[in-house]
Structures are given as C-alpha cells and as structure tokens.
Structure 1
Amino acid sequence: MFGMIPFDRRDDNLFDLFDNFEKKFFGNTNASLPAFRTDIRDQGDKFLLEAELPGFQKEDISLELKEGILTIKAEHKENQDQKDDKGNYIRRERRYGSFSRTFDVSGIDENAITAVYNNGILELTLPKLAPVVPQSRQIAIG
C-alpha cells in the first residue's frame, strides 16, 4: 500500500550537493516540459488509449511502432504573414509546438493496432496478445 503513495525523496548528501543546488536554483526542468494527457483503459481483450491533442490536424500526428515501443508525435507549425502592396512585411508571426510520448506495448498484437482521430482526441485500440498456453505431449518409450 505504501508504494502507491507519492512522496518527495530527498538525496541531500555530499556527493549530490551540486546537482541539488542546480535543481533548487534553476527549478526542476523536467516538470515544465509540455506533454499531452492520456487515459488508458483495460477493456478485457484490449486496451483503449485516448490522447488529448486539441488544435492539431490529423496530418500533424504521427504514430511509430518500433521494437515494442509506440511513439506518438504531434507537431504543429503555423505562419501568419501580412505584407503590404510592395511585398514588405507588416506583420509576421510564427508558432511551433511539438509533443511526443512513448509507450511500452509488449503483450500487444502490434499488427492489429488501430487509430482514430476525432475532435482533438486520438483513440488507439491496442488488442492484447492471446496468452500462450504451454502444450504437453506424450513421449514414446522405445
């Protein structure tokens, strides 16, 4: 039960003095990295993964499966150029956003994974592999 309770582990020893100073001075840089939210539900014979990717188009999202690791990437680029009649910029704004998350899909039938993107939600169906039942056989005595 106690393993499920989050806690703040403090490693204040002499060897970690400079690492801890950097973390306390600059802040925890990993906490500020953007990530998209996901929900994973076990539906018996499959898992359902829902990833929130609002503002992205279907073409902005890529799914890669390699060596039992599923990577979801979403990248958005936007340029807003306004020029006058001479071709000079009046306003030029650029916006870029990129998100990436990886998931271990061992125990999943990789060939049967399906994905649908609708209204900012990417929904992946991840069918479980059928459990392998060890087979026994009779050995003839000769």
Structure 2
Amino acid sequence: MALPRSTPNSWMQSLDFPSQLFRTGRDDYELYEEEDEFVLRVELPGFDPEEITVAWDEGVLNIAAEQADEARNQRKTYHRRFRFPKAVADDDITAEYHNGILEVTLPVVADATATGKQIPVES
C-alpha cells in the first residue's frame, strides 16, 4: 500500500500530528516513536544553536529558527508545530543540534495512552 502523493487537505493540516505523519514530498524532518519516547529529527542547515528555539506547551512542540543576513538584506526563518498523541514527560525533553540536524527526544509518561475514542469502521 503506497502513501498518498498529494498534499494533505485543509482539514488534515489543522490537526498537525496526523498531517505530519502522512505528508509526502519535501520533508525536512523525521518523527518516530521508540518504546518509551518520541524522537524528532529536523534538518536546519546553516543555523547556529542560539538561533533555534524549541518550546513545549501542553502537548505541542514548537520549533522556530531565525537568521538575518545583514550583508544580503535577507532573513531565513523556520517554524513548525508538532502535536503528540501521548503524555510526554515535559521536564525530561532534550534537544541537541549537530551538523545541521536538530534532534529532540520526548520521553513518554509511563502507561500513557492516547485519549479519545475508537471509531467503528462500517462496510
């Protein structure tokens, strides 16, 4: 089964997390879940660590970067939001930046489950 080749439609874009999972084409990040944590790797070539901001707010990870090139009168910016379906131990989130790659590790709270309800599939 192949992933869709089109961009996500507007209702999926407002959901952040699912649209990130199914986005195809030019991706600048990789997100996966290991046994007890989420790992997010974001390509941010050309930025210095002090130009990158990583913030956590009630289940949403915000990543922003901004760089001004005064000589060329240009500004380079990046901003992404990622929503997570499980409770994250926000005091234990870590972020490292090496060789143009930002890696954020988000430990999942033990026995955390996604909230919501199961939707029956009818035929």
Shorter chain as denominator, the TM-score bin is 0.5 to 0.7
Quickly say closer, same or farther: Cα 1:130–1:96, change in 2 above 3 A.
same
Paired residue total: 93
What are structure 2's unaligned runs of at least 5 residues? 7-25, 113-123
Compare the two structures and name the one with the higher helix fraction. 1
Q: Distance in 1 between matches of 2:27 and 2:61?
A: 15
Which residue matches 1:101? 80
Which residue matches 1:59? 50
What amino acid maps onto 2:92 in structure 1?
A: A
Which residue matches 1:125? 105
What amino acid maps onto 1:66 in structure 2?
A: D
Note the C-alpha offset of 1:60: 0.8
Pair member with larger Rg: 1
Question: Does the residue aligned with 2:70 lie in a helix, a strand or coil?
Answer: strand
Seq. identity, %:
36
**CA RMSD, 1 decimal:** 2.3
What amino acid maps onto 1:78 in structure 2?
A: D
Residues 32-71 of structure 1 deviation map (CA, whole Å, 9 limit, x = unaligned): xxx8711012221112111000000001100121122110
TM-score w.r.t. length of structure 1 = 0.58
What are structure 1's unaligned runs of at least 5 residues? 9-34, 81-92, 133-142
Which residue matches 2:20? none
Quickly say closer, same or farther: Cα 1:110–1:118, change in 2 above 3 A.
same
Which residue matches 1:23? none
- 1:114 aligned to 2:94? yes
Quickly say closer, same or farther: Cα 1:61–1:45, change in 2 above 3 A.
same
Which residue matches 1:78? 69
